[in-house]
């Protein structure tokens, strides 16, 4: 699965920048089990059948992390036994009896298996063995841990999956099929459970003999929602030809249709190679309950439920023999450390049940429910862009204590948002202010993710401003005080006619547009024409982020990525 960040495509999971612990999770609703063995074509080896529990237990991907807000925080987070026990009991209440773990670490996998065993919790496990490209010492230690756990907890561990999205073309943790085949054979030779590797559908639709000869089943990942971002033409998510009243349903029907199509490609590939007896499960699929960036008109609690319901129907077909033998939903609980790849959970990080599963229990009795009142009619869907009336005033002021002039508009309902919610702190302070602009300013403390940091001033409801009247000769102006090293980015963003959005950033250095980083206040004035030149798709009649300050390290070339100095900004306005 690929990942997103607020205001920019960033990296937090599988595509883009490399973060540790890839992979995302799953929900199992079916499977065929059976007895006996079926020979591999051309090898003489035997497929180990999926355990019967794969057909009787709903399953979901599970990770216990709660407090870590980035990759660095994972190692430091303490995971009490009581937290794992609470999580597993919540999943049981939601009807889940099978979880997927993504590694064989002591901290997560061993601890989870110990809780299941100690408290006799009726949950089974598909165990992961997480392997890393180019780190053979780590991989051998991880394999040893996985084998030991699969043997020790033989009655709990139903299957073992080695690797996660390592062979698909866009994998950040790329491992050659020949190398992965060796790991798979090594694990399979030491455990009795069926063994697989989890990967994207595009890999399984062309999987080589090296892999299919050493697995017992295929674990396929399909993410129609994310495909709308990374491959927008893959399927028609917008459904423009459908009446607005039916568009949400049409989109979600289209999403499950696309998931089925991706499964069918892999099934056809295996069948054509004489592997019709090899089961396929959907190892990961899910839908965001909250838009963490670039998923407007798609991510919503009701749409998440609509996708989950459609998966359940597809899984029922699989149990009847026409479709995947299991469907794993991604994921059980939100994990803030994933930043722009978060908000997939059926429960949020506070362990509150989301709308998708609330009807499986009683709010306030079975579990605490996430705030928000929804009905099926609350589902979101694509809508054409409609520009508001153009701002006629000569000045459009975003942040200032100076008294508004006769031809000045100060918009309301806007707020500051950090990229990924946590990459910058931004309190209003009275310790310093720009000359002739009161006594307060916004104090920015960067808290970079691996890709950088950023701060946007925008509408929380994506309400746009028609600032087309500023296009001809307008400027974006602000005061700034900092000793920030190197370049900094200033940007704006807009909606577009086709609703895919447009961002325009300028990387400015000391001396450009009046910018200085000598610790004194200076005034910056940037012609809006320069933003339009940076991205011709920018539409000033549909402005979303009225002001962005950021540092995406791959854009600025900055080398200092920790201990960055504070930045104060003040007197922010557009002028004609």
DSSP3 helix / strand / coil % (the chain, rounded to 5): 25, 25, 50
pLDDT at 371: 97
Q: Domain spans of the chain?
A: 38-378, 395-575
Predicted confidence band at 153 (pLDDT cuts at 50, 70, 90)? very high
Closest to 196 in 3D by CA, of 325, 319, 96, 323: 325
Contact 174, 166 (CB under 8 A): yes
CATH topology of domain 38-378: TIM Barrel (3.20.20)
Contact 285, 330 (CB under 8 A): yes
Closest to 339 in 3D by CA, of 56, 72, 55: 72
Closest to 552 in 3D by CA, of 450, 405, 441, 472: 450
pLDDT value at 374 more than 60: yes
Sign of CA dihedral 127, 370, 291, 19: negative
Q: Give, in degrees to the nearest 5, the angle at Cα 217 between 213 and 221.
A: 115
pLDDT at 21: 33
pLDDT value at 418 more than 50: yes
> Which tens digits make up the pLDDT trace of 49-105?
999 899 889 989 999 999 999 899 999 999 999 999 999 999 999 999 999 999 999
The whole-number average pLDDT for the span 200-204 is 98
pLDDT at 500: 80
pLDDT at 38: 37
Closest to 386 in 3D by CA, of 467, 496, 299, 502: 496
CATH architecture of 395-575: Sandwich (2.60)
**Three-state SS for 446?**
strand
As separate numbers, helices (DSSP H) first and strands (DSSP E) second, the chain gives 13, 22
pLDDT at 547: 98
Q: How far is CA 551 from CA 140, 339, 399, 452, 489, in A?
A: 38, 17, 21, 6, 6
> Which tens digits make up the pLDDT trace of 419-475?
988 999 999 999 999 999 999 999 999 999 999 999 999 999 889 999 999 999 999
> In sequence order, what are the residues at sequence separation of 6 or more whose Cβ sits closer than 8 angstroms to the Cβ of residue 542?
385, 387, 464, 466, 494, 495, 496
Which is more confident, 349 or 13? 349
> Which tens digits make up the pLDDT trace of 226-237?
999 999 899 999
pLDDT value at 117 more than 90: yes
Residue 417, token pair as written in the block: 């948002």
pLDDT value at 508 more than 50: yes
Closest to 439 in 3D by CA, of 549, 525, 568: 568
pLDDT at 322: 86
What is the rounded distance in angstroms from the CA atom of residue 310 to the CA atom of residue 414?
Answer: 37
pLDDT at 396: 98
* Mean pLDDT score of the chain: 91
* Count, residues in the chain: 576
pLDDT at 31: 27
Contact 439, 430 (CB under 8 A): yes
pLDDT value at 4 more than 90: no
What is the rounded distance in angstroms from the CA atom of residue 221 to the CA atom of residue 100?
Answer: 13
Q: How many CB atoms lie within 10 A of CB 337?
A: 25
pLDDT at 35: 27
pLDDT value at 29 more than 50: no
Paired strand residues for 481: 568
The whole-number average pLDDT for the span 278-284 is 96
> Which tens digits make up the pLDDT trace of 300-314?
999 999 999 999 999
Predicted confidence band at 220 (pLDDT cuts at 50, 70, 90)? very high
């Amino acid at each position: 699965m690929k990942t997103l960040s607020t205001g920019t495509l960033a990296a937090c999971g599988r595509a883009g920048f490399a973060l540790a612990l890839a992979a995302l999770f799953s929900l199992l609703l079916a499977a065929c089990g059976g007895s006996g063995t079926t020979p591999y074509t051309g090898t003489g080896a035997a497929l180990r059948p999926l355990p019967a529990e794969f057909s009787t237990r709903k399953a979901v991907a599970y990770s216990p992390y709660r407090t870590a807000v980035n990759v660095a925080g994972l190692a430091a987070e303490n995971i009490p036994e009581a937290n794992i026990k609470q999580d597993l009991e919540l999943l049981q209440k939601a009807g889940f009896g099978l979880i997927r773990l993504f590694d064989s670490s002591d901290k997560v996998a061993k601890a989870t298996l110990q809780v299941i065993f100690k408290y006799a919790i009726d949950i089974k496990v598909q165990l992961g063995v997480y392997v890393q490209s180019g780190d053979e010492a780590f991989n051998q230690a991880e394999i040893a841990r996985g084998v030991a756990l699969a043997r020790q907890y033989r009655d709990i561990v139903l299957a073992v999956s080695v690797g996660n999205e390592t062979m698909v073309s866009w994998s950040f943790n790329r491992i050659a099929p020949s190398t992965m085949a060796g790991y798979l054979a090594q694990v399979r030779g030491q455990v009795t459970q069926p063994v697989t590797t989890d990967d994207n559908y595009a890999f399984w639709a062309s999987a080589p003999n090296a892999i299919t000869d050493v697995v017992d089943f295929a674990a396929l990942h399909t993410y129609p929602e994310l495909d709308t971002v990374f491959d927008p033409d893959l399927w028609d998510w917008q459904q423009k030809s459908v009446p607005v009243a039916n568009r949400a349903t049409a989109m979600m029907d289209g999403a499950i249709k696309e998931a089925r199509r991706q499964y069918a490609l892999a099934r056809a590939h295996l069948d054509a190679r004489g592997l019709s007896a090899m089961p396929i499960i959907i190892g990961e699929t899910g839908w965001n309950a909250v838009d963490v960036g670039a998923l407007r008109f798609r991510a919503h609690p009701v749409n998440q439920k609509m996708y989950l319901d459609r998966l359940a129907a597809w899984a029922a077909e699989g149990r009847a023999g026409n479709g995947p033998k299991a469907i794993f939903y991604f994921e059980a609980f939100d994990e803030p450390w994933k930043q722009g790849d978060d908000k997939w959970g059926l429960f949020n990080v506070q362990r509150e049940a989301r709308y998708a599963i609330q009807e499986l229990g009683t709010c306030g009795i079975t579990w605490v429910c996430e705030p928000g009142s929804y009905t099926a009619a609350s589902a979101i869907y694509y809508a054409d862009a409609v520009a508001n009336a153009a701002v006629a005033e000569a000045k459009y002021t975003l942040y200032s204590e100076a008294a508004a002039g006769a031809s000045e508009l100060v918009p309301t309902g806007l707020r500051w948002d950090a990229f990924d919610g946590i990459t910058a702190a931004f309190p209003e302070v009275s310790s310093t202010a720009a000359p002739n602009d009161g006594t307060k300013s916004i104090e920015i403390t960067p808290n970079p993710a691996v890709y950088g940091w950023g701060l946007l001033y925008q509408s929380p409801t994506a309400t746009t401003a028609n600032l087309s009247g500023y296009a001809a000769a307008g400027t974006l102006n602000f005061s700034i005080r900092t000793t920030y090293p190197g370049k900094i980015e200033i940007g704006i963003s807009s909606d577009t006619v086709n609703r895919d959005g447009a961002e325009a950033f300028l990387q400015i250095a000391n001396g450009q547009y009046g910018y200085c980083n000598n610790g004194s206040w200076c005034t910056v004035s940037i012609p809006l024409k320069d933003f339009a030149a940076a991205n011709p798709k920018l539409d000033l009649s549909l402005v979303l982020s009225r002001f962005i300050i950021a540092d995406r390290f791959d854009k600025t070339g900055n080398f200092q990525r920790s201990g960055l100095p504070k930045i104060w900004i003040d007197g922010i306005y557009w002028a004609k």
